[in-house]
Amino acid sequence: MEEEVENLENLLKWAADMGITDSTNGNPSASCLGHSLTISNFPEAGGRGLGAVRDLRKGELILKVPKSALFTAECLLQKDQKLSLAINRHHFLSPIQILIVCLLYEVGKGKSSMWYPYLMLLPRSYHILATFGQFQRQALQVDDAIWAAERAVSTSESEWKQANKLMEELKLKPQLVSFKAWLWASATVSSRTMHIAWDKAGCLCPVGDFFNYAAPGEESDGIENVEGRMHASYLPNGGTPDILESEKFNAHLHRLTDGGFEEDVNSYCFYARKNYKKGEQVLLSYGTYTNLELLEHYGFILNENPNDKVFISLESGLYSSSSLPKESQYIEQNGKPSFALLSALRLWMTPANQRRSVGHLAYSGCQLSVDNEISVMIWISNKCHAILKNLPTSIKEDSLLLSAINKIQDYNTPMELKKVMSAFGNEVRAFLETSCLKNGKNGAAAAAAAELSLSGKTKLSIERWKFAVQWRLRYKRTLANCISYCDELGLLPCCQTG
């Protein structure tokens, strides 16, 4: 703990020397923070983050990071000829891969790196999907989520192998060439980079990356419900779109509620997205993501994510009966079917020879008839019931399992762990057998628990397992909410649902 405090103090002093500041008056200070922001701990809302040291007004400039302080491939290549020459021989690598290699290369310099105070404060581990083991991937239970996790792992392995020759040419230390190191650097880039116009990989922004996430849509005025300015180029919907002249005013409003690189001051600037009271955590929007996307690219999920959604498999004939895109047909977090899903189902429940005449009504969100609406609600409810029934565990079982995982995280002695193991089901025993050392007794759960030591590796496995269970529990609750919504409206067909 003392070492971390010292590292944090070193970072803030280094950042001040680099010109990073939360002050608009330009007065020099030993720390880059203290005028508008401070680093605080928010256990229930993202852990370490930035808090307001005074009341902040929406749209107020609260942090400025000069271009010279941004960690970019361009910056490193300009300063290091050896690195530049080596990378120029590997044109097939993507900007993301190049930035990852640059990060590992700079880590290898140790204290001689100008970025050392910043690198020392980067997290030592992440929980993005690419770090999930086989057990954690299967614990997601839902096919689409398992596939996303397996794709993330295979993509990381492929990109690592492609970059191996470059890392060997740079003579990186063996531990920095390992897949474990690649996963760490890749997760750092995925979860912490911000958009810059001149590099698709984005940049690492010291101090600016302390901001935790606020989901667009949480504010009442709707201005924030836009694509985020923070960006790693391989994230979905990443980056800032080109803006037409007629949209400059709206672009200015969006800038005031987020952050972005501003050419006129040659700095990355962050603005308060709403009014904050002294002591509140100051948040930043990264963009619009579902919980699965947040877990895949950032390594966390939200208890209440207004942008979360559940996609359900639909008959092929349903898609052909509607011109609405598949990605717009989903169930919202609160259980309400999306506008597009309702419209598509209303048309699908209509005889084919009548669809043309009522299409305009369906696409405007109108009910087509009482019987049609009841059929739609029954179909969605039955579909959600079937999905829940086919999943290995129920909502109640997952809730109990989360309680068990929390207890496992709190216990450290073999006897305590054996008690937890005996009180809960097969998944706990399977985890213990998968994650623990076995003394050759071929996997008896009791023997595994007796030998369990909650090492750092085991604790990481538990945390990722917990994320998988939390994700699938929220998925199931969305389906359950949808069943309640549809059943209620099926009994009250006169209600407007469009």
Identify the band that residue 314 occupies on the pLDDT scale cut at 50, 70 and 90. Answer: confident
Identify the band that residue 459 occupies on the pLDDT scale cut at 50, 70 and 90. Answer: confident
Q: What is the DSSP letter of 327?
A: G
pLDDT in tens, 260-271: 899 999 999 999
Burial state string for 60-95 with b = 16 or more CB within 10 A and e = fewer than 16:
ebbbbbebebbbbbbbbbeebeebeebbeeeeebee
Residue 382 has pLDDT above 80, yes or no: yes
More confident residue, 183 or 436: 183
Report the alpha-carbon angle 93-97-100, nearest 5: 150
**Contacts from 359-368 at CB under 8 Å and sequence distance 24+?**
362/322, 363/324, 364/498, 365/339, 365/498, 366/498, 367/496, 367/497, 367/498
Name which of 30-44, 182-196, 268-282, 318-332 the model is least confident about. 318-332
More confident residue, 320 or 1: 1
| CA–CA gap between residue 449 and residue 451 (Å, rounded) | 5
pTM of the model: 0.82
pLDDT at residue 415, rounded to an integer: 60
Contact 316, 463 (CB under 8 A): no
H or E segment and range at residue 453: none
Q: Please report, rounded to a whole number, the percentage of residues in the chain having pLDDT higher than 70.
A: 78
DSSP notation for 40-57:
EEETTTTEEEEEESS-B-
For tokens 């299409």, name the residue: 359
Please, which residues have CB within 8 angstroms of residue 63's CB and are 6 or more apart in sequence? 20, 21, 22, 36, 37, 50, 207, 208, 259, 269, 270
**Cα dihedral 244, 246, 252, 258 in deg (nearest 10):** -50
> What SS3 state is found at 324?
coil
Across all residues in the chain, what is the average pLDDT?
81
Q: Average pLDDT of 245-257?
A: 38
Residue 320 has pLDDT above 90, yes or no: no
Identify the band that residue 29 occupies on the pLDDT scale cut at 50, 70 and 90. Answer: low
For tokens 């717009």, name the residue: 328
Q: Please, how many CA atoms are within 13 Å of residue 425, restricted to the half-sphere of its CB?
A: 12
Residue 74, CA distances (Å) to 204, 230, 234, 251, 379 in order: 12, 18, 18, 27, 54
pLDDT in tens, 152-204: 999 999 999 999 999 999 999 999 999 999 999 999 999 999 999 999 999 99
Q: Average pLDDT of 387-403?
A: 92
Residue 442 has pLDDT above 60, yes or no: no
Residue (of 14, 170, 201) closest to 106 by Cα position: 170
Phi–psi pair at 386, nearest 5 degrees: -65, -40
Q: Tell me the β-bridge partners of 253.
A: none
Q: What is the DSSP letter of 330?
A: -
pLDDT at residue 407, rounded to an integer: 77
| CA–CA gap between residue 388 and residue 404 (Å, rounded) | 22
**Cα dihedral 483, 236, 44, 63 in deg (nearest 10):** -140
More confident residue, 16 or 229: 16
pLDDT at residue 193, rounded to an integer: 93
pLDDT at residue 363, rounded to an integer: 73
More confident residue, 458 or 297: 297
> What SS3 state is found at 194?
strand
Quick count: other Cβ atoms within 10 Å of Cβ 228? Answer: 27
Residue (of 471, 443, 438, 452) closest to 409 by Cα position: 452
pLDDT at residue 353, rounded to an integer: 75
Q: Average pLDDT of 482-493?
A: 76
**Contacts from 342-347 at CB under 8 Å and sequence distance 24+?**
342/376, 342/497, 342/498, 343/498, 344/314, 344/318, 344/319, 345/318, 345/376, 345/379, 345/380, 346/372, 346/373, 346/376, 347/321, 347/322
For 381, the token pair is: 């409810």
Q: Cite the DSSP H helix spans in 170-211.
A: 174-177, 179-192
pLDDT in tens, 72-101: 999 999 989 999 999 999 989 999 999 999
Residue 411 has pLDDT above 80, yes or no: no
DSSP notation for 111-168:
GGSTTHHHHTTS-S----GGG--HHHHHHT-SHHHHHHHHHHHHHHHHHHHHHHHHHH
Name which of 23-32, 142-151, 241-250, 341-350 the model is least confident about. 241-250
**Contacts from 421-429 at CB under 8 Å and sequence distance 24+?**
421/445, 421/446, 421/449, 424/400, 425/397, 425/401, 427/139, 427/393, 427/401, 428/401, 428/404
Q: Average pLDDT of 60-75?
A: 94
More confident residue, 379 or 225: 379
Quick count: other Cβ atoms within 10 Å of Cβ 495? Answer: 11
Please, which residues have CB within 8 angstroms of residue 148's CB and are 6 or more apart in sequence? 129, 292, 296
Q: Which of 191-195, 398-402, 404-408, 470-474 has the highest mean pLDDT?
A: 470-474
Residue (of 54, 41, 22) closest to 275 by Cα position: 54
Residue 200, CA distances (Å) to 231, 234, 267, 390 in order: 9, 9, 18, 41
Q: Average pLDDT of 363-367?
A: 71
Residue (of 80, 234, 92, 107) closest to 165 by Cα position: 92
pLDDT at residue 369, rounded to an integer: 80
Identify the band that residue 34 occupies on the pLDDT scale cut at 50, 70 and 90. Answer: confident
pLDDT at residue 3, rounded to an integer: 79
